[in-house]
Amino acid sequence: MGAEHGRVPVVLVHGARTSRTMWRAQVGALERSGRRALAVDLPGHGALRGESFTLAAAVAAVARAVDDVGGRALVVGLSLGGYVAIEHRAQRPEQSAGLVAASCCTDTASPLRRPWLRAARWIESWPDSGERLNRALVDATVPRAGRADLAEGGFALDAMSAVLAETGRCSPLDRLAQGRSPVWVVNGRLDHFRLQEGAFVRSARASGAPVRLVVLPGAKHLVSLDAPVAFSRVVLEAADSIEADARAARARSAGAQLPGARPADERGGVGDDDDVVPEPLERRGRDRP
């Protein structure tokens, strides 16, 4: 599994115009649980802002990160990172212990993509590349702790048009139907990217892999920043489930050599097919605005 002491490592992939620092809350939670966590910068973002964004280069960046943590990992992606993580799972199934696809339930072939691309190019042509608009949107929609996490890695204000052009070439619904590793589809209840949530879940289930849908109350598109404790809990439960499956598989393999042995079901986390809507966690520190 590429894990230390039976713990599955986790690779986290950020959204468009942000960077790996958006995952600071989740990296901290995962490390406290004893797991190795690595948040990566995609081309054109963060420390790689000087590089051109392409889907192929983004998938390659995720693959390198998985190699760095042992060769097989739970990959967590949000928005752009979710689409990249879906593509990585399809292209590199041997590296995928599981997928958490967050805030990416609109097909990239949506008719909305072309007008959004025109708007992105127009904003990037402004003298400040939309810096003041971006700051106002972040200040208005992201909790204080999340704003600090986003600002730490800076904003790739000139990356959006390349991101939209490149992601338009992928087919996440088709790609979700490929691969065999378990999938968690995670959305904020108020996310405008939930347009095709049901279709994404059905496509993932068409592969025969276990799939969970998790909707977090009160959260918007940047679900990991709006509800960091609740989102971290989903990632931890996903990792627990993958690890429990691995233990159960080893027990079954050992039991097959012992007549009459029936290893106990060790599956952790959430059930295979049930949709899950966790209770609000507003009492828990950083989930407050």
- Give the pLDDT score at 143: 87
Give the number of other Cβ atoms within 10 Å of residue 53's Cβ.
Answer: 25
The predicted model scores a pTM of 0.85
List pLDDT tens digits, range 148-171: 999 889 887 888 888 988 988 889
- The number of C-alpha atoms within 13 Å of 88 and in the hemisphere containing its C-beta is 36
Token pair in block for residue 89? 């799972």
- Give the pLDDT score at 281: 36
Residue carrying the six token digits 């995928």: 96
Task: Name the 3-class secondary structure at 77.
Answer: strand
Distance of CA 238 to the CA centre of its chain: 12
List pLDDT tens digits, range 14-43: 999 999 999 999 999 999 999 999 999 999
Domains of the chain (ranges; CATH) run: 10-239+272-287 (3.40.50.1820)
- Give the pLDDT score at 123: 74
- Give the pLDDT score at 5: 65
What single DSSP character describes residue 249?
H
Q: Rounded to an integer, what distance in angstroms lies between the CA atom of residue 287 and that of residue 289?
A: 7
Task: Name the 3-class secondary structure at 131.
Answer: helix
CB under 8 Å to 115, separation ≥6 — which residues? none
- Give the pLDDT score at 256: 61
For residue 163, CA distances in Å to 4, 5, 56, 57, 160 come to 34, 38, 12, 12, 5
State yes or no: pLDDT of 283 exceeds 70: no
Across-strand partners of 37? 10
- Give the pLDDT score at 45: 95
- Residue with more model confidence, 141 or 120: 141
List pLDDT tens digits, range 189-198: 999 889 899 9
Tell me what the mean pLDDT of segment 133-153 comes to.
86
